[in-house]
């Protein structure tokens, strides 16, 4: 694709989408959904002048990423977003792919591993006690003001394993400033126009953050979820690799550590036979994330290598 698209590449998004190489790429990846995809992209850039001025390949790859995850890019739905971003280093506007919190919930539900999964803002009067070990205590009818003090996400798997992630407002703002240069710039007293997603829709970004951290650290992740976490808030290059132009990737801070991996395995084991006592945690979690077929492969490997069982 790269060689074809690099030849006489149009400067406009519409011109780029009309290229035979572009249409061939879409048909190969999306098949019967190709026409719907092209129509959606055309409608999106027709309604947003800033997106229409984005570097064509970045917009195409951002939209294609959403389509590959089977998430609509209608901003009113909140599943996935395409954000125009001024890349001052390159001197161009690029399109950044962003997951919405509803998108993460949708992908989690598709795995069939989650009984419930949700996120919400926590207001003054609703948080009764913080307990990082057993889980916080809340009184959802105890709201005393419209002041949001934090955000919480929680899931329960079909096997009964529950986990929650809570972040106070101070923690959320610190997270946003660390991972979004645009938001950090918005907070400067001299900034006149505050256009970063954290400034224009802090609540949605905060809900996504707790959902993303919850799933990334404690959840069983499908291939789709792993990809979504990887490309979230990135400009996706032609080869599919993410480039985090609005700050560093938050991926490392959202990966599960050994304790969390052990909890994931324990919550999804059947009679404790999923992995052996000396099983590599990364391998075990990877097998889980592949679903039932991956677990079968892991079981077959153990039988073929009795020394590790």
73 backbone dihedrals φ, ψ, rounded to 5°: -100, 15
- Give the 3-state secondary structure of residue 87: strand
| Range with the poorest average pLDDT among 20-24, 161-165, 253-257, 295-299 | 295-299
pLDDT band at 75 (very low <50, low <70, confident <90, very high): confident
Taking a C-beta distance cutoff of 8 angstroms, is the pair 210, 167 a contact? Answer: yes
CA 225 distance to own-chain centroid: 7
Q: Per-residue pLDDT tens for 246-276? A: 755 444 445 444 444 444 444 444 444 433 3
Asked if residue 221 lies in contact with residue 229, where contact means CB atoms within 8 angstroms, the answer is yes
The predicted structure's pLDDT at residue 274:
39
Q: Give the pLDDT confidence score for residue 65 in this predicted structure.
A: 94
82: β partners: 97
What are the extents of the domains in the chain? 1-111+222-254, 113-220, 259-308
- DSSP 8-state secondary structure symbol assigned to residue 309: -
User: Quick check: 104 and 111 in contact, CB under 8 A?
Assistant: no
What pLDDT score does 3 carry?
47
* Cβ atoms of residues 208 and 276 within 8 Å: no
Q: How do residues 174-210 score in pLDDT, each as one tens digit?
A: 999 998 888 888 899 898 888 888 999 999 999 999 9
Q: Work out the angle at residue 284's Cα, subtended by the Cα atoms of residues 283 and 287, and round it to the nearest 5 degrees.
A: 85
What is the three-class DSSP state of 190?
A: coil
Name the phi and psi angles at 225, rounded to 5.
-65, -40
Q: Nearest to residue 73, comparing CAs of 50, 249, 307, 64?
A: 64
């Amino acid at each position: 694709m790269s060689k074809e698209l690099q030849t006489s590449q149009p400067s406009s998004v519409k011109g780029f989408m009309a290229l035979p190489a572009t249409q061939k790429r879409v048909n190969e990846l999306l098949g019967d959904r190709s026409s719907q995809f092209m129509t959606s992209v055309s409608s999106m850039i027709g309604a947003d002048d800033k997106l229409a001025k984005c570097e064509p390949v970045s917009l195409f790859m951002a939209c294609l990423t959403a389509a590959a995850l089977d998430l609509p890019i209608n901003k009113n739905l909140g599943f996935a977003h395409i954000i125009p971003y001024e890349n001052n280093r390159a001197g161009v506007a690029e399109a950044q792919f962003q997951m919405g919190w509803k998108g993460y919930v949708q992908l989690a539900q598709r795995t069939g591993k989650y009984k419930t999964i949700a996120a919400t803002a926590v207001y003054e009067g609703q948080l009764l006690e913080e307990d990082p070990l057993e889980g916080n205590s809340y009184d959802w009818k105890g709201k005393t003001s419209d002041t949001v003090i934090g955000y919480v996400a929680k899931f329960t798997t079909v096997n009964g394993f529950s986990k929650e992630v809570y972040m106070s407002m101070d923690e959320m703002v610190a997270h946003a400033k660390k991972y979004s240069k645009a938001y950090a710039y918005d907070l400067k007293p001299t900034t006149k126009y505050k256009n970063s997603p954290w400034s224009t829709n802090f609540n949605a970004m905060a809900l996504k953050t707790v959902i993303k951290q919850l799933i990334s650290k404690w959840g069983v992740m499908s291939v789709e979820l792993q990809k979504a976490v990887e490309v979230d808030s990135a400009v996706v290059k032609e080869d599919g690799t993410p480039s985090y132009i609005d700050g560093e990737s938050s991926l490392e801070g959202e990966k599960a550590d050994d304790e969390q991996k052990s909890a994931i395995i324990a919550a999804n084991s059947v009679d404790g036979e999923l992995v052996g006592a000396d099983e590599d945690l990364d391998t075990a979690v990877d097998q889980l994330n592949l679903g039932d077929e991956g677990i079968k492969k892991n079981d077959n490997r153990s039988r073929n290598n009795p020394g590790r069982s």
